[in-house]
Chain A
Amino acid sequence: METFIAIYIFILAAFTGYEVISKVPVILHTPMMSGSNFIHGIVLVGAMIALGFAETNLEKTIGFIGVFLAAGNALGGYVATERMLEMFKSSKKDAQ
């Protein structure tokens, strides 16, 4: 049963991803790619769990590398996206 629930979630999430991005204007493609890159930084949570329950030294080492990489994905992705998006200004706003 768990497996089927997971499959339903996969399918619904896939449609959501497709829908959410389908109306993106070209000017936002690069920030959008960076933003979605940030969102799969949630892998950090998984890496933390993997390391948190690691027992042997081998598991700990790989887990440590995992958390290290995942933190890079999340933080780097956030800062890069934020820096790009904070520059988008409207000329109308400036006039106010």
Chain B
Amino acid sequence: MLNSEIIIQVCYLIAAIVFILGLKRMSSPTTARLGIVWAGGGMLLATAATFFTPGMANIELIIIAIAIGGGLAWMTAKKVAMTDMPQMIALYNGMGGGAAAAIAAVEMFKVHELEISVEILAIIGGIIGAISFSGSIIAFGKLQGIIKGSFRFKGQNLLNLLIMLLLILISITTLMDFELMKNPVVAVFIIALVFGIAMTLPIGGADMPVVISLYNALTGLAVGFEGYVLQNYAMIIAGTVVGAAGTLLTQLMAKAMNRSLGNVLFSGFGDQSISVEGDSENQGEMKPIESSDASIMMAFAQKVIIIPGYGMAVAQAQQKVWEFSQLLIERGVDVKFAIHPVARRMPGHMNVLLAEAGVPYDLIYDAEEINQEFKNCDVALVIGANDVVNPVARTDPSSPIYGMPILDADYSANIIVVKRGQGAGFSGIQNSLFFLDNTKMLYGDGKEVAANLVQTIKEL
């Protein structure tokens, strides 16, 4: 090995170690920030070292490509609103998958002779990368609202199965006659791209986070495989670590939503169009409350638990809600935030939005941590959350959301629900919480309501 090669390998080794340590640090809120900075340093080191690989050509092309791709991504990532972060993660992830597929394509088009094991991994990694690429772009389009509705028809799963079989068949023919014809390579990538689109189109918006997480894991795997093709150990390690971590994260997310991964991929529940014929008429009436009464109720309470949901984020009410909470805290009220794992679009996304508004993370609790506390809570303030506080998930086995972990807001002495109107939630299921005797409905846009609450509590 040349001296320069040894130095490059050492750089890759350091990068691999720093990636793992960085990921480890990212798993605790106190060290998370440093974790990403470390990992970023590792990436910079590995990238810089690669420029010195003996025999590298096309340096100008490489620099131009990095400047354009990196520059565009940098600008969009700086600008994007926190609420739109999930689809941007999908987009950047898709780009990684596409890059892995591109590596596979270049290596397979090259004239040099490849070992059969290398060939197989190159093509598998390329296929996975291409699926992740087109699938992630569809996921981005759906969350961004560019692609509306879901495309579902009878026999769709069968069609997808056929596409997959075709893909496997052509891959095998390609591998067998590898030296003779290069055209099937193109076919393999095209079919893989089509497969990614066909897989993702029928999946509803609510399930998209799980799918994005799955594609994240798949990209990791593809990168690991292409790392083997290029004999690059930093890529093998980083790719495989992400592949495994991403798989676990996908399972955790699916579990938090009370779904299995198969269920997410092959059935269409995560969609608004499902209407459940409910006995909504027989549940009694919803009792409205004025915001002045609501704020008095909370100002003189001992303990208030705030449950923010999708609706609060849509109304961009998080700053006002935090302002109101601070006023409560000044009055000596014990205020806590309870967050359901799937609040907003991704597990943890609501935490990010609250953090952006300035809510310290030690006031924020998981469902498991806080559910016992609702019994001695004076007021549970539900803002724009619906299905995640629906008690039928505990009580009614016939309900589609039965068994889903929920926040037990119904155990608290009083419940105030901030809501735009009287309609049902994301899943289309009536919420029996709204009809309880101790539940009061505070109608209005989340931001206006929160502003009114702030106003009235200041006047007390």
- Smallest CB separation, A71 vs chain B (Å): 4
- Residues of A near B213 (CB, < 8 A) are 33
The answer to whether B362 and A90 have CB atoms under 8 Å apart is yes
Task: Name which of A3, A63, A94 has the most chain B CB atoms within 10 A of its CB.
Answer: A63
Asked whether A27 and B77 contact (CB < 8 A) given A20-B20, A37-B89, A80-B88, the answer is no
Contact partner, A72, options B50, B69, B223, Cβ 8 Å: B69
Chain A residue with minimal CB distance to B67? A71
The answer to whether B239 and A40 have CB atoms under 8 Å apart is yes
Chain A residue with minimal CB distance to B229? A46
Q: Is the interface of B mostly helix, strand, loop or mixed?
A: helix
- Residues of A near B67 (CB, < 8 A) are 71
Number of A-B residue pairs with CB-CB distance less than 8 Å in the complex they form: 385
B376 within 8 A of A: no
The answer to whether A84 and B47 have CB atoms under 8 Å apart is no
Q: Is the interface of A mostly helix, strand, loop or mixed?
A: helix
- Residues of B near A70 (CB, < 8 A) are 69, 95-96, 99
- Residues of A near B61 (CB, < 8 A) are 51, 60, 63-64, 67
Count, chain B residues at interface, CB 8 A: 119
- Residues of A near B106 (CB, < 8 A) are 50-51, 54, 59, 62-63, 66
- Smallest CB separation, B230 vs chain A (Å): 5
- Residues of A near B93 (CB, < 8 A) are 37, 40, 73, 77
- Residues of B near A49 (CB, < 8 A) are 50, 53, 56, 230, 232
Contact partner, A13, options B68, B86, B107, B244, Cβ 8 Å: B244
Chain B residues within 8 Å of A, Cβ to Cβ: 12, 15, 19-20, 22-24, 26-30, 32-33, 35-37, 39-40, 43, 46-47, 50-51, 53, 55-59, 61-62, 64-74, 76-78, 80, 82, 85-86, 88-89, 91-93, 95-96, 98-100, 102-103, 105-107, 109-110, 117, 133, 212-213, 216, 219-220, 223-224, 226-228, 230-249, 252-253, 256, 339, 341, 346-349, 351-352, 355-356, 358, 360-364, 366
Nearest 10 Cβ contacts at the A-B interface: A66-B102, A17-B244, A76-B73, A91-B360, A73-B96, A29-B348, A79-B77, A71-B69, A70-B99, A67-B65
